[in-house]
Homo-oligomer: A and B are copies of this chain.
Amino acid sequence: MKIIPLTENITLRRSIDQGTGEQRKAVEEIVQTVRKNGDNAVRQYTNQFDGVDLDPKTNQLLVTQEEIDTAYANTTNETIAIIREAAANIRDFHARQVQQSWMTTKPDGTILGQKVTPLDAVGIYVPGGRAAYPSTILMNVIPAQVAGVQRIVMVSPPQKDSTLNNTVLVTAAELGITEIYKVGGAQAVAALAYGTKTIAPVDKIVGPGNIYVALAKQQVFGTVAIDMIAGPSEIAILADSTANPAYIAADLLSQAEHDPLSSAVLVTTDETLAEAVAKEVTEQLQTLPKEEIATASIQDFGAIYLAASLPEAIQAINELAAEHLEVLVADPWAILPQIRHAGAIFLGENSSEPVGDYFAGPNHVLPTNGTARFSSPLTVEDFTKKSSIISYSKQAIQQNASKIAAFARLEGLEAHARAVEKRLEEPKNE
């Protein structure tokens, strides 16, 4: 792992995969065809892309209770127990985010406020492929449930045998999700956005996916809400001489194994530590099952930056605005107020980054690619929306109408002025 002096140009940012023109065109055609032909198009694309023939007579888009029973039969009690404990932790944390509708009243009879309302219906995209991602389900479904969303739909591409992964099904069932469709890709996103005979439309689509899913989400944005388009995973670690190099190396590699494009960066004030971490990374890499991916990530997007001072190191950390930030210094809480930009902040040597991926409670859907400068982790709020409440009394409108009318005329809006003045000139018979 290369050790380089800290310069001003430290950055984790890179261009996010925007897809090729061909991919965009392909996705556009899929989205429009599903919008027009509904279930038939969904079945046709599922046949074409997943190699699975869904029978229209048996309504095989929807996962059956039988399939869920089979999934349970193939899942150990230990796995179910861990999923339950993780779910409880995640639910506990997100329950603390719930916002109340609120109001304020004034002596003149005015009532102002904000009404918080859950979204009506949300679709969660769960990627297929070789690995199962139960944590994706927990992290996207639970905030929506805590928000009070009445209808939560899951979509995921079927495996070759036309089923979904057992752990995925069990995790969904554990959360009480029963509306699960075996459809993936751009066709799933289009079905959720515009609706088909089988799949009623939703108001928001969340969850990770490949470039086709990401492009489809961009294309239906506006018709429905979407979550952020996530880039490759990132970790930045801020460490001083008190940090354990073996821990740092292990945590850097935990992100590097995700993707050859993942970033793993250490910023430290201690040259001895820097060298020890570089050595540990080389050693630990050798026995990793995903050695090839992790090596590519470390070589291309990994670095150890040597800072002249802790303030300089902290400034670099803020410039990185990393998805995950570990603070492994003598007194991490003393640093916290100076950290302005990071998706999730892990304090102290026991707070290994994977703690936050599955189990601790905070959401693992986090801003990447420097967007932590202006974006937040997925929260309960992302599954609610607000409406302003304005209730003026007769006294309030009588006292303020002339001022409001004057303001409207400043902006050249005469009908606005007359609307409020109407309340003065024509009091209603009571």
Contacts and interface: CB of A to CB of B under 8 A. Distances in A.
A363 B388 contact: yes
B403 A359 contact: yes
Interface in A298-354: 332-333, 336, 339-354
A415 B250 contact: yes
A176 interface: no
Contact of A254 (B110, B254, B372, B419): B419
B415 A374 contact: no
A381 interface: yes
Oligomeric state, in copies:
2
Contacts of A407: 82-83, 86, 134-135, 357-359
A426 B349 CA distance: 12
B345 A389 contact: yes
Interface stretch (A31-39, A64-72, A112-120, A270-278): A112-120
A362 B390 contact: yes
Which label, helix, strand, loop or mixed, suits the secondary structure of the A interface?
Answer: mixed
Contacts of A135: 407, 411
B415 A373 contact: no
A203 B347 contact: no
B352 A415 contact: no
Interface residues of A, number: 120
A395 to B, nearest CB: 9
A292 interface: no
Interface stretch (A1-9, A50-58, A96-104, A151-159): A96-104
A25 interface: no
Interface in A362-413: 362-363, 366-367, 369, 371-377, 379, 381, 385-394, 396-397, 400, 403-404, 406-408, 410-413
A26 interface: no
A117 B377 CA distance: 13
A351 B131 contact: no
Given A132-B410, A289-B414, A354-B416, A110 B387 contact: no
A167 interface: yes
A68 to B, nearest CB: 18
A243 B164 CA distance: 56
A381 B377 CA distance: 13
Interface of A: 16, 78-79, 82-83, 85-86, 93, 96-97, 102, 104, 110-112, 114-115, 117, 119-120, 130-135, 167, 203-204, 222, 224-225, 244, 246-247, 250-251, 253-254, 256-258, 284, 288-290, 294, 332-333, 336, 339-363, 366-367, 369, 371-377, 379, 381, 385-394, 396-397, 400, 403-404, 406-408, 410-420, 422-423, 426, 428
Nearest 6 CB-CB pairings of A with B: A362-B388, A225-B374, A344-B388, A376-B386, A354-B416, A347-B391
Given A250-B415, A357-B408, A376-B386, 17 more contacts: A86-B407, A120-B340, A134-B411, A167-B410, A204-B374, A225-B371, A246-B426, A257-B415, A288-B418, A342-B387, A343-B388, A344-B387, A348-B391, A350-B394, A354-B416, A356-B388, A359-B400
